[in-house]
């Protein structure tokens, strides 16, 4: 059996959590492969909304196994909060969730370093979620990290202190005040909770399960345009958010990749700084934010909104090898007289369809007819308004990839499967 990958094609918040929850019944295992508590994945059922940060979005299906892979960075304090808010008792959750011993830990001092670095950046702030992601991945690649497996070491306290002191030395170079004690207490409570879960070499587990014919879904965090290599660097996150990241973040071979589901919103949003060619600064942008409730799931910050950006999407499809597109938030566009799609850019006076390394670009739009119908109750593709179908088919023509799912609301039931 192969592993399918679901990931975001834009700047994050495409609706990955909702879709993973909706399609989980078709899988045995749901595995997160990168990112950490910077992610906020929302899903809804029975009129209750849940927001997950570290835990895979399959967790509400009692018969599924959820894996936090080696590519994820884990803050035990966030983990504990999340476990406590989930609902099911820990005694039950320990059977549903397994954690890689190789996943790196976010230390309390990583969070402080994140804030110190960001405030030092002056006008070029990244707009980080300040969860310690950058410093934790930096320590991982510079080979100074602490991993989940280390918490089982009898000398863990000493190793932890060495790491903390190393960070405190760095912090002396920054004028940054902080209170470590309170968060450290929470962090250690989280470490104790982590120990109740099975901590193991999940790469063996995932490969064994594939051999046994189990169906595995890899759940991405952030989006392709926030990838550390291919996003709008330096305004990116610190991990590989792309399909290749599922191989390194779970320990599976590229030959095992089956379907790659690319999630895209009917428009674009971005939270934090960095280029956003189709950003709208007018009433339309405000309307998208209000109707789409575009406020960060992790930080509550208002998201920047703009029209769909096809050159960016084509780039994401190419990098990820997307085999199927899933459209979300189509319902939010109801009621616009016309909708615009960016089909190319203008850079240095010339039209281009590639994302430039670094230069000012302006979007070139195709304007399409809008639709007025409330589609949130539609459950079949043929029920959708003709203008929306045209909008969807235009994306298919332009990208050469079929749109096989349309999400028309945040609830797991508000989903149209086309194939």
Partner that binds at residue 129, options Mg ion, ligand IMO, ligand GDP, none, CB closer than 5 to 8 Å by kind: ligand IMO
Dihedral of CA atoms 329, 335, 337, 339 in degrees, nearest 10, equals: 0
**Contact (CB, 8 A) for 31 and 217:** yes
Name which of 55 and 387 has its Cβ closer to ligand IMO: 55
Residues that bind ligand GDP (CB under 6 A): 8, 12-18, 40-42, 44, 293, 297, 328-329, 331-332, 407-410
Q: 416, 236, 397: which is closest to 310 by C-alpha?
A: 397
Min dist CB 129 to ligand IMO, Å, is 3
By CB under 6 A, tell whether 221 contacts ligand IMO: yes
Q: Residue 109 carries which DSSP code?
A: H
The binder of Mg ion chosen from 4, 13, 44, 82 (CB under 5 A): 13
Candidates 21, 28, 41, 110; catalytic one: 41
**DSSP codes, 362-384:** EEEEEEEE---S--TT--SGGGS
Per-residue mark of binding to ligand IMO, 99-138 (x: CB under 6 A): ---------------------------xxxx-x-xx----
Asked if the peptide bond before residue 201 counts as cis, ω within 30 degrees of 0, the response is no
CB atoms within 10 A of CB 177: 7
Min dist CB 417 to ligand GDP, Å, is 13
Min dist CB 219 to ligand GDP, Å, is 9
The binder of ligand IMO chosen from 34, 224, 232, 237 (CB under 6 A): 237
293 is known as an active-site residue: no
Name which of 38 and 378 has its Cβ closer to ligand IMO: 38
The rounded radius of gyration (Å) of the Cα atoms in the chain is 21
Partner that binds at residue 331, options Mg ion, ligand IMO, ligand GDP, none, CB closer than 5 to 8 Å by kind: ligand GDP
Name which of 72 and 116 has its Cβ closer to ligand GDP: 72
Supply 387's token pair: 């203008």
Q: Residue 155 carries which DSSP code?
A: T
Supply 221's token pair: 């965090």
Per-residue mark of binding to Mg ion, 16-45 (x: CB under 5 A): ------------------------x-----
Helices (H) then strands (E): counts for the chain: 12, 20
Q: Give the CB-side neighbour count of residue 364, counting CA atoms within 13 A.
A: 12
Per-residue mark of binding to ligand IMO, 308-347 (x: CB under 6 A): ----------------------------------------
Question: How far apart, in whole angstroms, are the C-alpha atoms of residue 316 and residue 9?
Answer: 6
Question: How far apart, in whole angstroms, are the C-alpha atoms of residue 184 and residue 144?
Answer: 19
Could you give the angle at which helices 108-120 and 133-141 cross, rounded to 10 degrees? 110
Min dist CB 64 to ligand IMO, Å, is 19
Residues with a known catalytic role? 13, 41
Q: By the criterion CB under 6 A, which residues form the site for ligand IMO? A: 8, 11-13, 35, 38-41, 126-129, 131, 133-134, 221-223, 226, 237, 271-272, 297
């Amino acid at each position: 059996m192969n592993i399918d990958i679901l990931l975001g094609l834009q700047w994050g918040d495409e609706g990955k959590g909702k879709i993973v929850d909706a399609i989980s019944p078709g899988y045995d295992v749901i595995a997160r492969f990168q990112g950490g508590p910077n992610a906020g994945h929302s899903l809804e059922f029975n009129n209750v909304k849940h927001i997950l940060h570290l835990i895979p979005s399959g967790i509400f299906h009692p018969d599924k196994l959820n894996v936090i892979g080696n590519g994820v960075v884990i803050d035990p304090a966030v983990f504990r909060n999340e476990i406590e808010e989930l609902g099911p008792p820990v005694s039950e959750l320990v059977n549903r969730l397994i954690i890689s011993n190789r996943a790196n830990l976010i230390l309390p001092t990583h969070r402080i370093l994140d804030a110190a670095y960001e405030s030092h950046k002056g006008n070029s702030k990244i707009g980080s979620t300040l969860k310690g992601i950058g410093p934790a991945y930096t320590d991982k690649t510079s080979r100074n990290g602490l991993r989940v497996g280390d918490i089982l070491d009898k000398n863990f306290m000493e190793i932890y202190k060495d790491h903390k002191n190393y960070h405190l030395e760095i912090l002396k170079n920054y004028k940054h005040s902080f209170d470590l004690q309170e968060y450290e207490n929470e962090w250690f409570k989280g470490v104790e909770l982590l120990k109740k879960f099975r901590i193991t070499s999940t790469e063996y587990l995932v490969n064994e399960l594939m051999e046994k014919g189990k169906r595995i879904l890899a759940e991405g965090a952030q989006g392709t345009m926030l990838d550390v290599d291919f996003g709008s660097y330096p305004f990116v996150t610190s991990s590989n958010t792309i399909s290749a990241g599922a191989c390194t973040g779970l320990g599976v071979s590229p030959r095992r990749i089956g379907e790659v589901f690319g999630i895209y919103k009917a428009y674009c949003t971005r939270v934090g700084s960095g280029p956003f060619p189709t950003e709208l600064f007018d009433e339309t942008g405000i309307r998208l934010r209000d109707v789409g409730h575009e406020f960060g799931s992790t930080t509550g910050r208002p998201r920047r909104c703009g029209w769909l950006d096809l050159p960016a999407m084509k780039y994401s499809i190419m990098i990820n090898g997307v085999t199927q597109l899933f459209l979300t938030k189509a319902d939010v566009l109801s009621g616009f007289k016309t909708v615009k799609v960016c089909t190319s850019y203008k850079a240095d006076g010339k039209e281009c369809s590639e994302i430039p390394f670094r230069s000012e670009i302006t979007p070139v739009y195709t304007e399409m007819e809008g639709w007025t119908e409330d589609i949130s109750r539609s459950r079949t593709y043929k029920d959708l308004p003709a203008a929306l179908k045209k909008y969807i088919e235009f994306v298919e023509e332009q990208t050469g990839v079929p749109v096989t799912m349309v999400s028309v609301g945040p609830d797991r039931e508000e989903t149209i499967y086309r194939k």
